[in-house]
Amino acid sequence: MSFGLWGMKEKYWMIAVVAIVFGVVAPLGGLYRAAFCALCVGSVWLFLATINRRLSSVLTRRWDVLLDNIPKRLWRVFVEVVLQYRVARDRPLVGILHALVVWGFLVFAWVSAEHLKLGLLGFENAEPVHSWYGTFAAAWAFAVIVGIVGLSFRRFVLRPKALGKLSPTSGLVAFLITALMVTYLLGWRVFPVGSAAWKVNWWLHTISFFSILVLIPKSKHLHLLLSPITIFLRSETTSAIRPLREEGEDLGIIHFKDFDAKDILDVNACVECGRCTQFCPANLAGESLNPKEVILDLQRGVLTGGDLVAGTPEEKAENKVFVSEVDLFQCLSCGACEYACPVGIEHVGRKILDLRRGLVSEGRVTNGKVVQLFTTMERAPHNPWGIAQDTRQKLIDANQFPIFDGKQDWLFWLGCGLSFDPHGQAVAVAMKQILDASGVSWGVLPRETCCGEPARRAGNEYLFLQLSEKLIETFGSARVKNIVSCDPHCTMMLDKDYRQNAEYQKLGTRILHHSELIAQLLPRLSVESSSAAVTYHDPCYLARGRGITEQPREILRATGFAITETAHHGANTQCCGAGGAQLFIADDSRGQEKGRVNQLRFAQLAETGMSTVVVACPYCPIMIRDAANHAKRDDIEILDLAEVVAKSIRKRPSPAVTGEAGSGANLADANVTNGK
């Protein structure tokens, strides 16, 4: 093995220690035992030295990780590491082959311990293996060989594009694992214990074992050690942008020294499987964004002591930075990469969006549409479209929306999508009908400013803080306790991003998406059952960002609709193309090779054959309708969940029904507001 990966001092220290071990053990235990001990010490030394080189900074970096719900995290590690659920979920055959190798190694833990013990005690203590466990391990040795041969055939013969270039290390590790299994089988039944052939075979097994030990930390196989940790630390939903630290000047990720400990673990844990890229909607549409390469570029920067992380394509070509600004601003923040990653890497909030924040804070953004978005939002009325507040006011006046005065149970947050988009306004009216029919008390703010979601997702932390502080002050003065929003983006902001503000936390405000609230209000509504069939499009920020997939379907089934699912549904949904501020910053002049993101998603929805698509986000209809128009499919109706329910309401519940369900105040104090 090459010593070039670590310093001269470490090399000489290792040689000295190995020589001492050999010199001490040889006179006492013989040459072969001394050789075994020297091999053991040298391999462990190389292993630890490489681990130290790659991960020592973890001990000195901050930990921006919220360790909540420890039992659930431990269960996730068991399911995803031991049971290999996520590996097999999306690629069943490959997952099973990988699982055979993992489970085989778990079985061989005891076998390896016994093998190493024999190296210390001496061959004279060797005995034939007749126990049931030896036979059990032999069966798993065959299983591991099957797994390795299958994976090697895929890697080196089929060569899927997602895996990237061929890796000599992968081939060497596959060979050594096979050698481990074959030499065990030969020693188990073929060679007589103590014979010359048995001893040679024992040494081959030993060398294979320690060679793997040395190779693991020098390659992508380090994920074997790190993935249980990264999976344990991973967010349950799509990762959020971390809060800025109060001490010092924290302007987002600009330099590699700005990464926290979890980030260092993430970039070193990458298994290079390419699943993140394979699931990335931007990449599927032919964009240059490649989440796998972003992580590997970050890994190279960390390992080579890089300084600046991101910059222009020209700066990357000149090796001044490691990640291109162009790739970062193509991200939809949909979380598909994190959903697909089998080792718990968090690409979105903790890296891509925080890198955007770093570029913006330093004024190094060259994307004209991003700059234009900020300019629009900085000017009154502060929404991303720059539409006058009169548009929202006309909606409120024409439909007699009640104004929130602090006494009602619910603040209905319209947000930019429902305030200014024509279809969004229709959804707002439908939601009014539902709230009125349910008997809960509610109101809207006389004026709203954008919650700052597009600004923060695009990286403008300063503008976000300005807008959020103003809004938090409004919530406080209006005594807002319960908020319902039809927009998953606003819901995420108010229920996750805003909670990074201590003043907002003090308010104790609870936020529900309208699908959560409607699902709980259904018993209070008298609805007519439909016999129609629809398909439902899961918004990314609702399904992966908030973990809500069942409530919308419960609502549709409760109103009599049959649901025909798309190939990508639930947490495996495909993005419509609006997230990550792409609705406002996407470069429409650049045609994607394989069709735009929204067109790819519309094609999946159209494949169901349904004439009605139900959504639960005001931005999704904009993108899906645009794609439908492009496909000349004006026969497909796109409705929000609230519109479906509003159309199904037969009549307002009678006072008796309302009385049985309890007052609006009691409902707000009970299950409705906590989402349970």
Structure tokens at 242: 């971390």
For residue range 637-649, what is the model confidence (pLDDT) as tens digits? 999 999 999 999 9
Indicate the SS3 state at residue 410: strand
For residue range 373-418, what is the model confidence (pLDDT) as tens digits? 999 999 988 899 999 999 999 999 999 999 999 999 999 999 999 9
Name the helix (H) or strand (E) containing 38: helix 31-55
Q: How many angstroms separate the CA atoms of 150 and 320, rounded? A: 41
Q: What is the mean pLDDT of residues 324-343?
A: 97
Structure tokens at 205: 């097994």
pLDDT band at 244 (very low <50, low <70, confident <90, very high): confident
Question: Is the model's pLDDT at 507 over the cut of 70?
Answer: yes
Q: Phi, psi at residue 651, to the nearest 5°?
A: -165, 165
Q: Phi, psi at residue 670, to the nearest 5°?
A: -100, -130
Amino acid at 632: K
Side-chain-facing half-sphere of 7: CA atoms under 13 Å: 5
pTM: 0.90
- Give the CA diameter of the chain: 98
With beta carbons less than 8 A apart as the criterion, state whether 143 and 106 touch. no
* 107-120 as b/e: b if 16+ CB within 10 A: bbeebeeebeebbe
Question: Is the model's pLDDT at 660 over the cut of 80?
Answer: no
Question: Is the model's pLDDT at 573 over the cut of 90?
Answer: yes
pLDDT band at 234 (very low <50, low <70, confident <90, very high): very high
For residue range 3-54, what is the model confidence (pLDDT) as tens digits? 344 455 556 556 665 566 555 555 555 577 778 888 888 898 889 989 999 9
Q: Which domains does the chain have, with CATH numbers?
A: 8-228 (no CATH), 231-361 (1.10.1060), 390-519 (3.40.50), 522-651 (3.40.50)
For residue range 285-333, what is the model confidence (pLDDT) as tens digits? 999 999 999 999 999 999 999 999 999 999 999 999 999 999 999 999 9
- What's the confidence (pLDDT) of residue 10? 59
Name the helix (H) or strand (E) containing 151: helix 132-153
- Alpha helix locations (H) across 522-610? 540-543, 550-558, 582-585, 597-606
Question: Is the model's pLDDT at 162 over the cut of 90?
Answer: no
- What's the confidence (pLDDT) of residue 6? 47
Question: Is the model's pLDDT at 65 over the cut of 90?
Answer: no
